[in-house]
């Protein structure tokens, strides 16, 4: 019986461990994306919370302060879930990361617009 060199065993262990990291990395980014989207909603980037009505002067106009960024984040979150369902973890990670980044951008834009309008 031939012995495998120690580095082959180490390489095999590393490869098997790395193969399982996609799901872990996805989990980290998807949680961050969910948190960022919730923060964006609270900041007013997304749909108004219950009881938070648009004023009469804004009738027919969206109350969302960052609608494009918020929607972009939501669609990337949806696509990330779709990709992980097909076990394409790298694409899922990329989509979840984009969702997180755009949700943060929406949150920041909404906060800035609120400050400029004197609503905060």
- The answer to whether 44 and 110 are in contact (CB under 8 A) is yes
**Based on the structure, what is the number of domains in the chain?**
1
Confidence band (pLDDT; 50, 70, 90) for 23?
Answer: confident
Amino acid 99: pLDDT: 98
pLDDT tens digits for range 24-40: 899 999 999 999 999 99
3 belongs to a structural domain: no
Judged on CB neighbours under 10 Å (0-12, 13-18, 19+), 15 is exposed
8 belongs to a structural domain: no
The stretch 104-119 carries a mean pLDDT of: 89
pLDDT tens digits for range 37-83: 999 999 999 876 555 555 555 554 467 899 999 999 999 999 999 99
Amino acid 46: pLDDT: 85
5 belongs to a structural domain: no
Above pLDDT 90, what percent of the chain? Answer: 55
> Residues for the chain: how many in total?
120
105 belongs to a structural domain: yes
- The answer to whether 71 and 105 are in contact (CB under 8 A) is no
Full domain range(s) for residue 60: 21-117
32 belongs to a structural domain: yes
113 belongs to a structural domain: yes
pLDDT at 14 over 70: no
- The answer to whether 108 and 89 are in contact (CB under 8 A) is no
Amino acid 107: pLDDT: 96
Confidence band (pLDDT; 50, 70, 90) for 92?
Answer: very high
12 belongs to a structural domain: no
The stretch 101-107 carries a mean pLDDT of: 97
What whole-number distance in Å separates Cα of residue 44 and Cα of residue 39?
9
80 belongs to a structural domain: yes
What whole-number distance in Å separates Cα of residue 81 and Cα of residue 109?
26
């Amino acid at each position: 019986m031939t012995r495998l060199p120690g580095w082959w065993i180490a390489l095999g262990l590393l490869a098997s461990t790395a193969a399982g990291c996609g799901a872990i990395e996805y989990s980290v980014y998807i949680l961050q994306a969910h948190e960022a989207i919730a923060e964006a909603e609270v900041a007013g980037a997304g749909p108004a919370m219950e009881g938070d009505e648009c004023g009469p002067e804004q009738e027919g106009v969206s109350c969302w302060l960052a609608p494009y960024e918020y929607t972009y984040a939501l669609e990337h979150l949806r696509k990330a879930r779709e990709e992980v369902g097909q076990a394409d973890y790298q694409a899922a990670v990329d989509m979840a990361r984009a969702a997180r980044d755009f949700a943060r951008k929406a949150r920041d834009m909404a906060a800035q617009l609120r400050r400029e309008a004197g609503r905060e």
